[in-house]
Amino acid sequence: MPRRTIASEITVTGTALHAGGTVRMTLSPALPGTGVTFRRSDLGLDIPARFDRVGETNLGTVIAQGGASVGVVEHLMAAVAGAEIDDLRVILDGPEPPILDGDALSFLVLLERAGFHDEAARRQGVKVLQRVEVSHKDATAALVPSDRLEYDMEIDFPTKAIGRQSFHFVFSREGFRRDIAPARTFGFVHELETLKKMNRGNGASLDNTLAIDGNTVLNASLMRFGDEFVRHKILDAIGDMALAGARLVARFEGRRSGHGLNNALLRALFAGRANYEIINLP
Ligand SMILES: [Zn+2]
């Protein structure tokens, strides 16, 4: 399997979910072996999209290096992983990619329009050799040996709008596009005021976020799946696991896990040399 980048440059503008305001993003082909890097064109600084550059994880996954940061990278990274892209430059003039439709499909469509380019280098993977698990309170996340890449997620929220949902996803490009990428991000109306006081969530709207108020979804007409919330949690996990820097060969098992635990899981995986091996993907 060859490494892959995109065939041409493509640019989009949109709203920054937390910072608010408009941000311009260009996706650009990158050289084999360079991985995914973010460039803050407004600061002239680069940040590799890697798990060991992750700082804050409260409101999406933030990567940071040398005084620059980029937040909410997970939806774009999910689309990158879903398209099986290894090398990509993401050029941003602000602190987040645009939120677009709050899903990964918006980014996937951009990547498809840019076209794909197979590189003259072999694609590598990180094969998990033994179970690695992290937990915090009642949340757990684990990577378990498997011959294929699969995601198992279970969530339980004390609102009838979500309740208990579980989903099992065996990775394929087609399956990602159909079953996971369209699932939108969601948020709770009662948290929005706190967020705004922290100067976050400024770009959240009923067009890009499923808004839960008590036991109802305010913009339920936007929903694409009955179990959209657990599918979005898998989307987030795929984006977070993409920060491993290479395709995982493992089963991800998440119970109420989020960005913080997902990042702790990758750090635990790479902390033990016996946990994994680097393989050439067949
Ligand atoms: Zn998300």
Q: What percent of the chain has pLDDT over 70?
A: 100
pLDDT of residue 56: 92
Q: What is the CATH number of the domain that holds 108?
A: 3.30.230.20
**Do 97 and 219 sit in the same domain of this protein?**
no
* Mean pLDDT across 195-216: 94
Element (H, E) at 175: helix 173-175
Residue closest to 51 by CA, chosen among 270, 282, 200: 270
Q: Which helix (H) or strand (E) holds 196?
A: helix 189-197
Residues 90, 138 share a domain: no
Nearest of 137, 135, 155, 139 to residue 233 by alpha carbon: 155
Q: Find the 22 Cα to ligand 1 centroid distance in Å.
A: 19
In this predicted structure, what is the pLDDT of residue 240? 98
List the domain range (segments joined by +) for residue 48: 2-122
Q: Has residue 182 got a pLDDT over 90?
A: yes
Q: Are residues 218 and 155 in the same domain?
A: yes
Query: How many domains would you assign to the chain?
Result: 2
How far does the centroid of ligand 1 lie from the alpha carbon of residue 121, in Å?
A: 31
Q: What is the DSSP secondary-structure string of 93-134?
A: SSSS---TTSSSHHHHHHHHHH-EEEEEEE-EEEEE-S-EEE
d(CA 258, ligand 1 centre) in Å: 9
pLDDT at 61 over 90: yes
186-201 pLDDT, tens digit each = 999 999 889 989 999 9
Is the pLDDT assigned to residue 282 strictly greater than 90?
no
Tell me how far the alpha carbon of residue 120 lies from the centroid of ligand 1, in angstroms: 33
Residues marked active site are found at 259
Write down the pLDDT at residue 167: 98
- Which of 92, 122, 152 is the last residue before a domain boundary? 122
CA angle, 69 as apex, 64 and 75 as ends, to 5°?
95
My answer on whether 89 and 159 are in the same domain is no
Q: Are residues 157 and 254 in the same domain?
A: yes
The CATH number assigned to the domain holding 174 equals 3.30.1700.10
Span 83-111, average pLDDT: 98
CA of 181 to the centre of ligand 1 (A): 11
Domain final residue, candidates 87, 107, 122: 122
> What are the pLDDT digits (tens) for 134-180?
999 999 999 999 999 999 999 999 999 999 999 999 999 999 999 99
Same domain, 75 and 52: yes
Residue-wise pLDDT for 242-264, tens only, equals 999 999 999 999 999 999 999 99
Q: Report the pLDDT averaged over residues 11-33.
A: 97
Question: Which residues have C-beta under 5 Å from ligand 1, the single-atom ion?
Answer: 185, 236
Whether 154 and 82 share a structural domain:
no
Is 220 found in the same domain as 131? yes
Residues 75 and 135 in one domain: no
The pLDDT of residue 83 is above 90: yes
* Residue 173 and residue 68 in one domain: no
Q: How far is the CA of 146 from the centre of ligand 1 (A)?
A: 25
Looking at 122, 145, 176, which one is the last position of a domain? 122
CA of 237 to the centre of ligand 1 (A): 9
pLDDT grade for 105, boundaries at 50, 70 and 90: very high
Whether residues 65 and 88 fall in one domain: yes
Same domain, yes or no, for 117 and 136? Answer: no
